[in-house]
Structure 1
Amino acid sequence: MTVPQPPEPIPGARLLFSLDPSVNYLNHGAFGAAPIGVQRAQQRLRDEMEANPLRFFTQGLVDRITHTRRHLAAFLGADPDGTALVGNTTAGVAVVLQSVGLRPGDEVLTTDHGYGAVGFAVERECRRTGAVSRTLSVPLAAGDEEVVQIVRDGLRPGRTKLLVVDQLTSATARLFPTAAIVGVAREHGVPVLVDAAHAPGMLPTTVASIGADFWVGNLHKWAYAPRGTAALVVAEQWRERIEPLAVSWEQEAGFPGRVESQGTLDYTSWLAAPVGVFTLRSLGVDRVRAHNAALAAYAQRVVGDALGVAPADLPEPGGPTVAMRLVPLPAGLATTMDAARALRARIAERLAAEVAVTTWNGRGWLRLCGQVYNTPDEYDRLAVRLPALLAQG
């Protein structure tokens, strides 16, 4: 089988970013990368804040955040009155976990594709409340119907008080049928929290159509917002129960104001976030999504071929706009988190390439991302040099 053709580059897109040209940055999914225009917009806001901090924080800040929230909620297809801006997805998850009212004997159900920090948050809340966590095993190659059936069989009505499921998994770059999963959980009276860290900007998501009780996603990854920008969307029946991680002056305002008000937090990342959405729309949202997904598919094949991985053994992400792909590493490599971190650092140091190395189900995986600032030759260079580095053990 031939390697898929890479997409045509989007003219001028690389110049929108300030990334180090001596590094092949192939891991946009980790922390994103803010376009230069977004960086400048945030700096102007910081300059305004530092010119008169008292005025910035006390005169109109709540209204400015509300306006920003409504703009971002419209982009996400979410109810602005049910949306709160938070620092990142894991912060939003923590808000939900402490607000659902877990008690001894209750159960939080997750899958083995979940994000590590979310798993830590679940474990901590279970220790605090006396609840327990249980993890469902979902095969990497499972189709949508099989995934839904695994969840259906795993629910324990009356005991399962929260189901946490990813929209697009971080460790395995797998798109889950979240709307169908939410439907099954609703049949059994189980609320669902969707970890959508990678959805905004990458996936054609309309949050309202998913129907989850809670949905939280980062805008600082694929929607080009400054880091520290995420949206927590809460169904109407839960909003009065949502409590912030720290109480501040908007506590009596209810949700979402009580969650967004965090004292002297640097709100400039939120206020500059619409510039990221504007940049994405200026490039063409559908155009960017198609480009990034096609580039990630090309990356997966050329690197997979270089490592001797048959095309049939390359995981499919399950969606036409998924801009992250996995390549299995040779057996015995990166089988623990520490080993994965060490290998990622070696690749960065010796090959001048930033990639994600993950471990899942006892095997190491290379996760490659496609973004408008990337070019096919970056993956070609990685494919040429990576086998020799991996052969060193």
Structure 2
Amino acid sequence: LRPGDEVLVTTHDHFSHHEAIRFATERNGASVRKFALFDEASTATVDGIVTRVHDAVRPATRVLGITWVHSSTGMRLPVRQIAEALREVNRGRAGNERVLLVVDGVHGLGAADETVAAMGCDFFCAGAHKWIFGPRGTGIVWARAENWARLKPLIPSFSDSELFTAWTEERPPAGPSNANQVTPGGFLAFEHQWAMGAAFRMHQQMGRARVAGRIRELNGRCKAGLQEIRAVKLHTPLDPELSAGICCFEVEGLSPDAVVKALLARKIVASTSPYKVSYARLAAGLFNTPKEVDTAVAAVRTLATA
């Protein structure tokens, strides 16, 4: 980023996104602008989302940051279509003026049947401790090969021999930045890395389509059940192409915290979304059963009719 460049981000993103972008733009003299992809997640459409993205991009925009699956509403964005819209925008731009698409995929990786390299994004980041079932504090950053050179390391890496050789020879490192050079510095927790490998192998053995199908089945069942309760408002789209493994909802007359506490008293684990506007959330994973989903929905129905 350079002075005058703009980072475009949505109003739906997490605290960590907005703050990380603020830090980066303040360091580089760039600016950040937020826009809304939709007014109501439950009624959003692919065409409407893509149109808003296209209309939000300005000549100074250099980066678009989006979240694949929103933890605020359960919305799953149509990343491929957004990437295609940006390709049209970039068609008439010089290389250093292209809009890069950066995706936080933490709630999609391990929950949706997608190949990251085929989605059309320039950078893809995801923690491995959620749907992948890896250890906390682990994650991945994927980028197209040509994009690593656009990054500047912030912390000296122990994973790139050229950095160390250049240091011993008291010269600048040869060549542009690469993935190893932007890997977190210091000695890494190898036991966590080994556990990550085991988690990814587990998913490979089960098969991505099979995993995604199970999550779609369970959460579709959850959404359908919640949708039938008169005093419940479901915020997650019913369309499985616009949702994944998170079901966000409100119970009339109860705060999200009250809903979560009442469900916990019934031995059902729910959560609240950590946003300015918060909802209660249920997220059926691979370890859940249809019967458990039905039990959770029945408990919400009891709360809603109490």
> What TM-score comes out, normalization by structure 2 length?
0.79
Moved over 6 A (4+): none
Aligned to 2:169: none
Q: Does 1:350 align with 2:265?
A: yes
Question: Does structure 1 retain, via aligned residues, the 8 Å contact 2:75–2:242?
Answer: no
State the 1:131 CA deviation. 2.5
The AA in structure 2 aligned to 1:383 is V
Secondary structure at the counterpart of residue 198 of structure 2: helix
Q: Does 1:330 align with 2:252?
A: yes
Q: Deviations over 1:52-104 (max 9, x none)?
A: xxxxxxxxxxxxxxxxxxxxxxxxxxxxxxxxxxxxxxxxxxxxxxxxx242x
**73, 77, 91: which one aligns with 1:176:** 77
Secondary structure at the counterpart of residue 158 of structure 2: coil
Q: Does 1:379 align with 2:293?
A: yes
Residue range with higher mean Cα deviation, 205-214 or 344-353: 344-353
Instruction: Give percent identity, aligned residues only.
Output: 23
Provide the C-alpha distance between the structure 1 equivalents of 2:252 and 2:181, rounded to a whole number of angstroms: 49
Aligned to 2:237: 315
**208, 212, 221: which one aligns with 1:289:** 212
**112, 126, 135: which one aligns with 2:11:** 112
Question: Does structure 1 retain, via aligned residues, the 8 Å contact 2:112–2:212?
Answer: yes
**46, 55, 58: which one aligns with 1:144:** 46
Provide the C-alpha distance between the structure 2 equivalents of 1:169 and 1:310, rounded to a whole number of angstroms: 17
Provide the C-alpha distance between the structure 2 equivalents of 1:328 and 1:359, rounded to a whole number of angstroms: 14
The AA in structure 2 aligned to 1:352 is K
Alignment of 1:39-118 (within 5 A): 101-103=1-3, 105-118=4-17
Residue range with higher mean Cα deviation, 280-289 or 211-220: 280-289
Structure 2: any 5+ residue segments left out of the alignment? 91-97, 164-176
State the 1:193 CA deviation. 0.7
**150, 162, 182: which one aligns with 2:63:** 162
Q: Which has the higher contact order (CA 8 A, sep 6+)?
A: 1
Aligned residues: 281
The AA in structure 2 aligned to 1:203 is A
Alignment of 1:209-358 (within 5 A): 209-250=118-159, 252-253=162-163, 254-306=177-229, 308-309=231-232, 315-319=237-241, 322-330=244-252, 333-334=255-256, 342-343=257-258, 346-347=261-262, 349-358=264-273
Provide the C-alpha distance between the structure 2 equivalents of 1:162 and 1:109, rounded to a whole number of angstroms: 6
Structure ranking higher in helix proportion: 1
Provide the C-alpha distance between the structure 1 equivalents of 2:223 and 2:202, rounded to a whole number of angstroms: 27
Secondary structure at the counterpart of residue 146 of structure 1: helix
The 1:294/1:206 distance shift into structure 2, 3 A limit, reads same
Q: Deviations over 1:344-392 (max 9, x none)?
A: 76246523322132276x7542222122211233333333444665789
Question: Does structure 2 retain, via aligned residues, the 8 Å contact 1:200–1:222?
Answer: yes
The 1:218/1:333 distance shift into structure 2, 3 A limit, reads same
